[in-house]
Amino acid sequence: MTALAPREVAVDTSVTVPWLMSSHPSHGSVTAAVDGLRLRLTGHSLAEPYSILTRLPGDARVAPPDAAAAREHDVPLVTRDARARGTYALIGVHTMVVA
């Protein structure tokens, strides 16, 4: 039996920030990796990008209301941090690593 690719995924900070920041060096690869997917933020994946995006210097800073997002659960987590896979696996989170 072949598993279907998910249509809805959670993303962590390593994906969220480059996806939202067109000037980020990984914006293109991240955008391509999540193209067509419905993206969600969960737990620390909500607080951490919010903190980063609202503290960026100059015109890169995002207004707090614009950085806020809803929390969702039970979807795969997309990350650029392959080192975190073991930790996520220990708590039962299915991950997808993008370059």
16-72 per-position pLDDT tens digit = 888 888 888 999 999 999 899 888 877 766 677 777 777 777 777 767 766 654 344
In a domain, 2, yes or no: no
In a domain, 3, yes or no: no
In a domain, 21, yes or no: yes
**pTM here?**
0.60
Task: Name the region of 24 (left: φ>0; alpha: ψ -120 to 50; beta: rest).
Answer: beta
In a domain, 91, yes or no: yes
Instruction: Tell me which residue of 16, 66, 7 sits closest to 41, measured CA to CA.
Output: 16
In a domain, 1, yes or no: no
User: How much is the average pLDDT of 7-18?
Assistant: 86
pLDDT higher at 42 or 83: 83
In a domain, 86, yes or no: yes
In a domain, 45, yes or no: yes
Which residues constitute the domain of residue 36?
Answer: 8-97
User: How much is the average pLDDT of 87-92?
Assistant: 69
Q: Which two tokens stand for residue 16?
A: 């969220």
Number of domains in the chain: 1
User: How much is the average pLDDT of 75-86?
Assistant: 77
